[in-house]
Amino acid sequence: MKQLPENMIYPENALILAPLSGYTDVAYRRAARRCGCRFCFTEMVDCSSLVYASDRSALMLRRDDDEDFLGVQLVGAIPEHLAIAAEKLNDRDFSLLDLNLGCPVPKVWNKGAGAALGRNPELALRCFEALAEKSRFPLTAKLRIVHAQDPAPTVDLVTKLVERGARAITIHGRTREMFYTGEVNFEIIRAVREAVPGTPVIANGGIVSPETAREMREKTGCSRLMLAQGAMGNPWLFGRIDGTGDDPGLEAWKALVRSHICDMISLYGEESAMRCARKIVHDYLKGRGFPSCLRAQASALAALKDLDDLLDIAKPAVSRSPSGRSIIDPAD
């Protein structure tokens, strides 16, 4: 059993890869670990897929033998379904179980789950209690701020989750209406941290560089950070933030992209993997000065040879990136 040491969920200054639906499978996490990320999650799992024994959920829950930490996150708004899902997860090996109270996408919101559940505190607490009754794993929760100006609703929900056994709380500092853009509310994240001083609070939202990570830590008082959009196509961000690594040269960039996609092929077979790989390669190309023709080429990937052809001609076309990511040196 690969469990965390007693009473420890995340150490100080931990950097955590968020559970990203459609992304953080085994292959994605391997790429992140190659760049220094230890704390990862499976993709977000709909509890109904476990209740009704979806074949896809089994692959989503796969864990590598060398993953010393792996969290699993459930999304759902029916306590009975969450309880059944928790019991089924007990047969597997995870470091913790997280309840999603923050996903903003319409297909989740419209079911009353994710961020919608975060705005229904009575039901949210019932759902958390259902997990607590059935799960053998440490329980955590991830949510968005409930109100853009008033910290009270967010603080109240977090306090009650901690009272019911939440061992850590992750706060995305934007409301559901903001999705993934706009200013992060550092003050509400700080208010949450101060309200539960004995519980790790992980800050999330808008972390795309060492500078934004430093700002998040300074303005919220949270040493632990969760990376999501900023790490998509940019797993080197973990090393840049903690000082153990830097942006890659061109050959290192190519090697990681290819190993990531080859791992996907091993998981899903070439045809299925390459369809999924299109969005992954787009992310790797984004903001690094590559010409637009490569993005068009990535949209048509159908075989590993197509990826190799793209990598063979991949060279940055500009000397400065508006995204803030370092430009890869074409002479590397």
At 267, which helix (H) or strand (E)?
helix 250-268
Tokens of 137: 């794993």
Q: How far apart are CA 49 and CA 72, in angstroms?
A: 14
At 55, which helix (H) or strand (E)?
helix 55-60
Burial class (CB in 10 A: 0-12, 13-18, 19+), 93: middle
Half-sphere exposure of 257 (CA within 13 A, CB side): 30
Q: Which residue has the tokens 């040269």?
A: 249
Other Cβ atoms less than 10 A from the Cβ of 256: the count is: 18
Q: How far apart are CA 158 and CA 166, in angstroms?
A: 9
Q: How far apart are CA 295 and CA 44, in angstroms?
A: 27
Q: Pick the catalytic residue: 103, 127, 222, 276?
A: 103
Does residue 149 contact residue 99 with C-beta atoms inside 8 Å? no
The DSSP string of 202-262 is: EEESS--SHHHHHHHHHHH----EEESGGGTT-TTHHHHHHTS-----HHHHHHHHHHHHH
103 is catalytic: yes
At 31, which helix (H) or strand (E)?
helix 26-34
Q: Which residues have a catalytic role annotated?
A: 103
